Structure 1
Amino acid sequence: QHDTVRRNTLRGSVIADDPETRLTLGIPVGHRVEAGVANGDMSARMQGYVRHLRYNGQPVRISEFAEAVGKQWAPPGEWSKAGYSGPLPPHEPAAVDLGSHRDKDFQLTAHIVTLAPNATIVAKAFPGGLWRRGTRNGQGKLLFLRDGRVCFDIGWVGVTEGTTRVNDGREHEVGVRWECRSGAFRITVDGQLDLLSQDTLGGTSTADDADTSLAIGIAVGHQVHGGRADGSMSQQMRGAIRRVSYNG
């Protein structure tokens, strides 16, 4: 339905998109940018989800967006691929496996810009970002910042944590790597293996719980209210996640 127009100052003007602009989803827009994030004085970050995005009637793949922070994948039809902070092709979310196969290497990386000491980067979380014990078939997984250091947690199994602080407002490539030959998870920062401050995973490779889904930058916690986790495990990313890659 056509909505009643309250105000219209465009007067039929059609103006080209500036070639330096990029398509984005739900991010704050403003006149000042600090640590890669606008101050939101023009429009604030979307508090919630963007369900079905279409252009001229055709669905838009979120992989075409430059940035998307704080969104979560869900079954096709329920959400319109909300949560892509791509590129991940040719891998669909269900194919992003974070350790189900002990004999297969994998690497997950993301480019981030933030000043936040504690924040989610990528998660395999339960609906709404819930962090709970999985079944005997698997657990949740979480790549996140704690005290500015990159960590990878397997729910109720353990965590591996780096030593380099990356919450300095500069862009960093951060990630986790599973090396089946050595039977170990490695934290990477800017293409280099990071020294570990702790590692309680003990070479354990655990399947992703089938009830989890891929999430980018959302709050993850032990309680969910109104469809959003309380962030008790890791908070929503305050900053930017520019690119996420799975096995390159």
Structure 2
Amino acid sequence: MTKLSVNINKVATLRNARGGNNPDVEKVALDCEAFGAEGITVHPRPDERHIRYADVLALRPILRTEFNIEGYPSKEFIDLVLKVKPHQVTLVPDAPDQITSNSGWDTKNNLSFLTELMDTFGEAGIRTSIFVGTDTEMIEYAAKAGADRVELYTEPYASQYGKNREAAIAPFVEAAKVTRKLGMGLNAGHDLSLENLAYFHENIPWVDEVSIGHALICDALYLGLKKTIEEYKNCLR
């Protein structure tokens, strides 16, 4: 069964808007686990505008499910990951001031850089995942770099879903097949929602994990966190 990892960045954004500790990021993470999430994802950025490095350090010893840290591999990020030793690190090619991830890696031109990172994290016992688009060459070079998994950047699928879902899913199915053929695990994330997740999973049922934050937290404003997580898990059954 595909695991649901809840990205709690937006919870930290809400907390940071007023200062203090409301909502409590650590409590929300534990509640997500209690409500059925199989993992927690965080994406600390250099300006700490949502998840802070201190949050990452505080979360690691209290979480019972898989902990996934994603981000651009700056020296500070690498040091944090090696100190925390999460179950998985997901590398994204974000610029420091980027609002959100909006593209996958050019794994061919960054092969030596990524290979060194895969070795560094692998030696520390951390599962590695590289954020990529559906270009099969980029997936092939992720495999050459030694990644354990790739995470497919699903915003193009989400944006096209309402117009033509068959056309929207087609390149992702092909990318998923190539990933499986190369022996890597498969994650997916970005703009997956209650509207489009079930169809994605129906067509690519071997996805190991989906990481969902923005849409899930928005849905929770109306449905409540427990009910929302249940609904997302229903999409993966």
Q: Is the TM value for this pair above 0.5?
A: no
Structure with higher helix content: 2
Structure with higher strand content: 1
TM-score if structure 1 supplies the norm length? Answer: 0.25
